[in-house]
Structure 1
Amino acid sequence: MQFKGKKVLITGGSRGIGKAIALRLAADGADIAIVGKTAEPHPKLEGTIYTAAEEILKAGAGSVLPIQGDIRYEESIEQIVKTTVDQFGGIDILINNASAINLLPTEQMEPKRWDLMHDINVRGTFFMSKTCLPALKKSTNAHILNLSPPLTLNPEWFGRFLAYTISKFGMSMIVLGLAEELKAHRIGVNALWPKTTIATAAIQNIVGGDIMVQRSRKPEIVADAAYHIMQRPAAECTGNFFIDEEILVQQGITDFTHYAVNPGQKLMPDLFL
């Protein structure tokens, strides 16, 4: 029970990768706060923060706190963090999972779509991290984990998805900078990214539909990788850009068949790799 009693805050925790990480840590008895905008059932989105909380509690969490919030706004971020600290007494782990995606080329990119990606991916991640710092500094093994890719100046990704690439690399630059800035406080700041596409609502509804989902892996592979990262001593594990497969191989796990949505389909590599 590596995470029994640990206080975990996860943005975008009502479905997909965020919920999968919550369920994985819940099995060890963690106290988990999940943040999401979906409080009422949505025709195109699975579940709500409340249905996710029920699953997480059944998985073994010490306690679960569903919080309706929007990390685009400072007042919402402040309320999210205050509610978590008031309920749990602190924060040991922050998972910056909430993200927006749009793969339109530059000529078709509307300002509101640019703003949404950058307000959530970069601005929201930055200020969620900032607002959690006073609580994280009190933890004995504090971690921040961003779901963002390894940094690269390969023009392929900028040329294909300029607006989205800038926003996701912005999340990764936060990792690079905060890891250095927070060394004296022994807070581990890392990024995690999947080797192949993950079957999420974004893949289903925005990127590739059912065909892409069939060529994807389940969110559980990312959750299992996050589980192992969070166990590491924060002071010694910081500034890394981890890939899910590589983490699991380090743990002696080399058979990934059970993670595939459809083991008979060829997997689709994820972006940025």
Structure 2
Amino acid sequence: MTFQNRTIFITGASRGIGEAIALRLAAAGANIVIAAKSVEEDPRLGGTIYSVAEAVEKAGGKALPIQVDIREEAQIQAAVQKAADTFGGIDVLINNASAIQLTNTEQTPAKRFDLMYDINVRGTFLVTQHCIPWLKKGNNPHIITLSPPVNLAPVWLGSHVAYTISKYNMSMLTLGWAEELKPFGIAANSIWPATTIATAAIRNLLGGEALMQRSRTPAIMADAVALLLEKTAATCSGNNFIDETILKEAGITDLEKYAVTPGGKLQPDLFL
């Protein structure tokens, strides 16, 4: 597997799943654009665009760290242009940046509702919009968005409706882009983990160390994304994938290596 000379633009890539994807593709020779806000490390979260850039270079890729808040369109435009100027274009966009708030209607402040929509929906839309002209000229161009299959089971809507519909919006954008961009041979797919993934958000916001131990490492998402990006864009589009399904279709059935606690009980992720 090689991604030599392919340029991958990843939002929210300063830590967690975004960082894991960046390092996985860097090891295969990709140019990685690390588009995220963090330039100073938060001890609770870890990681900055610069620490990931250093790790990308060590892994064998070329790194371009860019501070960008995807709520600001001017910053998106500048980041996309800088990426294209630096590497000669953009071949892949990975919409990884996202905000989460697992509260019911009464307990969801307006500013948190707005944050989720500004990042998850509007931000994802605008980053994609500004990358499309470069993707049209890209090498096997793909858009991958980290969002779940649309599951209208009442439990997911009733538990945290604001967050749920923001993530489903991302999945519906994916399906819309798959159809809209079909004439240009640009693939649009979403991907979502089958289990919780051991990230700072899991530890700090959702379930602490106990949930971390029932999770898989971000490497499973990184490997699944790499496999998805190997597929021919013109014939693999419009799907809401699950990470382990992609791996199993590629003949990878032993997933124990991804477990934080091998042999332990795994926690299914939301919406599944």
TM over 0.5: yes
Q: In structure 2, what residue type is equivalent to 1:10?
A: I
Q: Which runs of 5+ in 2 are unaligned?
A: none
1:271 matched to 2:270? The reply is: yes
Q: CA offset at residue 268 of structure 1?
A: 0.4
Query: 2:33 aligns to what?
Result: 33
For residues 136-159 of structure 1, the C-alpha deviation after alignment (integer angstroms, 9 at most, x for no partner) is 001131000000000122222101
**1:184-223 alignment, distance < 5 Å:** 184-223=183-222
Match of 2:94, SS state, is: strand
Equivalent position of 1:11 in the other structure: 11
Which whole-Å CA distance do the structure 1 matches of 2:184 and 2:131 have between them?
13
Quote the RMSD (CA, aligned, Å). 0.9
SS in 2 for 1:106: coil
Q: Mind listing any 5+ residue stretches in structure 1 that lack a counterpart? A: none
Measure the CA separation in 1 of the matches of 2:247 and 2:182: 26
- Cα distance in 1 between the residues matched to 2:154 and 2:179: 26
In 2, the alpha carbon distance for the partners of 1:148 and 1:98 equals: 10
Please say if 1:139 is aligned against 2:138. yes
SS of equivalent to 2:46: coil
Alpha-carbon distance between aligned partners in 2 of 1:255 and 1:265, rounded to the nearest angstrom: 14
SS at match of 2:106: helix
Matched-pair contact (CA < 8 Å) for 2:6–2:139: no
User: Identical aligned pairs, as a percentage?
Assistant: 58
* Residue 46 of structure 1: aligned partner: 46
Aligned counterpart, 2:72? 73
Measure how far apart 1:2 and its partner are.
2.2
Residue number in structure 1 paired with 2:181 = 182
Aligned-pair CA distance for 1:202: 1.1
- CA distance in 2: counterparts of 1:43 and 1:92, whole angstroms: 33
| Structure 1 residue 265: Cα displacement | 2.9
Deviation by residue 1:190-227 (Cα, 9 ceiling, x = unmatched) = 00000000011111111111111111000000000000
Runs of 4+ in 1 over 6 A off after TM superposition: none
Structure 1 equivalent of residue 239 of structure 2: 240
Quote the residue 1:64 is aligned against: 63
* 1:91 alignment partner in structure 2: 90
State the SS of the aligned residue for 1:175: helix
TM-score by length of 1: 0.98
SS of the residue 2:226 aligns to: helix
Equivalence for 2:102? 103
Q: Secondary structure at the match of 1:38?
A: coil
In 2, distance between residues paired with 1:2 and 1:48? 26
Please give the secondary structure, in 2, of the residue aligned with 1:9: strand
Query: 3-state SS of the aligned residue for 2:233?
Result: coil
Alpha-carbon distance in structure 1 between the residues aligned to 2:151 and 2:55: 37
2: CA distance, partners of 1:256 / 1:140: 30
For 1:212 and 1:35, the matched residues in 2 are separated by 28
Secondary structure in 1 matching 2:235 = coil
- For 1:256, the equivalent position in structure 2 comes to 255
Once residues 165 and 257 of structure 1 are traced to their aligned partners in structure 2, the CA distance between those partners, rounded to angstroms, is 29
Q: Which residue of 2 aligns with 1:24?
A: 24
Question: Secondary structure, in 3 states, of the residue corresponding to 2:137?
Answer: coil
TM-score norm. by structure 2 comes to 0.98
Cα separation, 1, equivalents of 2:158 and 2:135: 37
Cα distance in structure 2, aligned partners of 1:111 and 1:216: 31
